[in-house]
Amino acid sequence: VRLVETGGGSVEAGGSLRLSCTASGYIDASGYSGRSPCMAWFRQVPGKEREMVARINGNGDTLYSESVKGRFTISRDNDPITVVLVMSSLKPEDTGVYLCAAREVWFCANTYRDFALWGHGSQVTVSS
């Protein structure tokens, strides 16, 4: 299974960007109970631990970090499995490498250690 990301780039503060992640290949559905896998976006900044930015579980329930709540929106499609992160009102502190992640179960967790599948990462740079 591969998670293929597109989007990201550079923008001035206040602007918007979109990230998309599509899962290719077969995902073992034994842990899904008929629902789609949990998927999330993490942000990696040098010298800091990988941080969960937004996640969406197999029921479509979402959760955001406090730093992006009200500005970012995560959504998904299931055929093919795709998760999209729309980032608005961007701030310089949103800068980092954004990584798509998936679990092999439908319910989510907050830490990167709980996610088994990862994309390659997309750079997002917000200038002031």
Question: Which pLDDT band holds residue 114 (cuts at 50, 70, 90)?
Answer: very high
Conformational region of residue 14, where left means phi above 0, alpha means psi within -120 to 50, and beta covers everything else: left
* Mean pLDDT for the stretch of residues 34-63: 94
- The answer, yes or no, to whether residue 61 has pLDDT greater than 90, is yes
Residues 6+ apart with CB under 8 A from 4: 21, 22, 23, 24, 119, 120
- The answer, yes or no, to whether residue 118 has pLDDT greater than 80, is yes
* Mean pLDDT for the stretch of residues 42-55: 96
* Mean pLDDT for the stretch of residues 103-119: 92
- Total Cβ atoms within 10 A of residue 123: 11
Of 21-30, 32-41, 59-68, 91-100, the range with the lowest mean pLDDT is: 21-30
Q: What is the pLDDT of residues 30-42, one digit of tens each?
A: 666 778 889 999 9
DSSP annotation of 87: E
Question: Which pLDDT band holds residue 122 (cuts at 50, 70, 90)?
Answer: very high
* Partners of 23 in the β-ladder: 3
Q: What is the pLDDT of residue 71?
A: 98
- Total Cβ atoms within 10 A of residue 38: 25
Angle at 117 between CA 27 and CA 85, to 5 degrees: 100
